[in-house]
Structure 1
Amino acid sequence: MPLLSGEALSAAIRGHHLGDHPLARLAARFGAMHHRHLIGLEAECRAECRAECRCQRAELAAEVDAWARDHLPVPHPAATLHAEPLGAVIDRLAEAQVVAYHLLMTVDPVDPRVHAAWYRLAELVDGYNDLITALSQRSRRLPAPRQPSMTESRTPEADSP
């Protein structure tokens, strides 16, 4: 099953044209989660909401990485290593897209933050398209998904007696 194009991934993040592709459904979940988190930040979401979002992000990224491991072609032995797993790439792209749309809808469109957010989103989509092309051609390989360290997986509640 081929990877989604940057355009199809962006539509899925917005919840449009999901189709049957597992990455489209995961991208839509990333988009919805980032939207909830952004709205929660505006409403001064408590620390437990932020922790829940981090946990959801990690779970969704792990699902993307598992799909990639099972469905992408085996890289060429000389393939160069990409800096991060596919789940992290899609997570960052979804977050940037949610922020860009939110700014467009909530601030004056001539505000420089709107332009900066959309420019950043375009860069991420271009980078994603370059990555999926290289993965399809077997010239790039993804790193093993990063496992949380012991200090990252600890919560403040776990430290209390």
Structure 2
Amino acid sequence: MDRIPGKDLLLAACRGMPMLDPTHPMLDAAAELAKVHETRDITAACDGGKLALRRIELIREIDEWIAKAAPPPLPAATLHTETLGQIVDRLAQLTNQTFIALAHAPDDLYQDSWARLCDLASGYQDLVDELHNGTRRLPSTFLHLW
């Protein structure tokens, strides 16, 4: 069974480099989520429905994979507020926004975006560590579209 990727591999995948671990389904989904967000940012609103549906599919793929891959939580494990798919989706979106800011925004906006990305990536890594230790469990579904 594949190990849950750490933040460095996940961020690389969000920048289009899932080839660092080319057979990992979660990294492939993260890379595609980043492309969905990138496309959404540059495409006319008429394509939004297709992108939203693909985004939901990818989030669910991640959630289904993690349900099989994560070790069973301890009985006293606390429930996280989001699914792992939702967190990966937010990381993919924020990665895209940060790299847009790097190219086109004033330094203070880029620094703010970079700080938010680093905070979210650190939170993701903490969650992965807790999942591996069995001290955290994940909700089984999400309801938010965009």
Normalised by the size of structure 2, how large is the TM-score? 0.91
The one-character-per-residue Cα deviations of 1:17-53 (angstroms, maximum 9, x if unpaired) are 242211111111011111111122xxxx12x322222
| Structure 1: gaps spanning 5 or more residues | 153-161
**1:24 and 2:27 aligned:** yes
Instruction: Give, in whole Å, the separation in 2 of the partners of 1:114 and 1:28.
Output: 21
Alignment of 1:1-161 (within 5 A): 1-16=2-17, 17-40=20-43, 45-46=44-45, 48-108=46-106, 110=107, 112-147=108-143
The one-character-per-residue Cα deviations of 1:79-110 (angstroms, maximum 9, x if unpaired) are 000001110000001000000001101234x2
Letter in 1 for 2:93: E
| Structure 2: gaps spanning 5 or more residues | none
- The alignment-based identity, stated in percent, is 32
Q: Using CA pairs under 8 Å that are at least 6 residues apart, name the structure with larger relative contact order, 1 or 2.
A: 2
Normalised by the size of structure 1, how large is the TM-score? 0.83
**CA RMSD across the alignment:** 1.5
Instruction: Give, in whole Å, the separation in 1 of the partners of 2:97 and 2:50.
Output: 19
SS in 2 for 1:3: coil
Letter in 2 for 1:25: D
| Number of residue pairs the alignment of both structures matches | 142
Instruction: Give, in whole Å, the separation in 2 of the partners of 1:86 and 1:142.
Output: 7
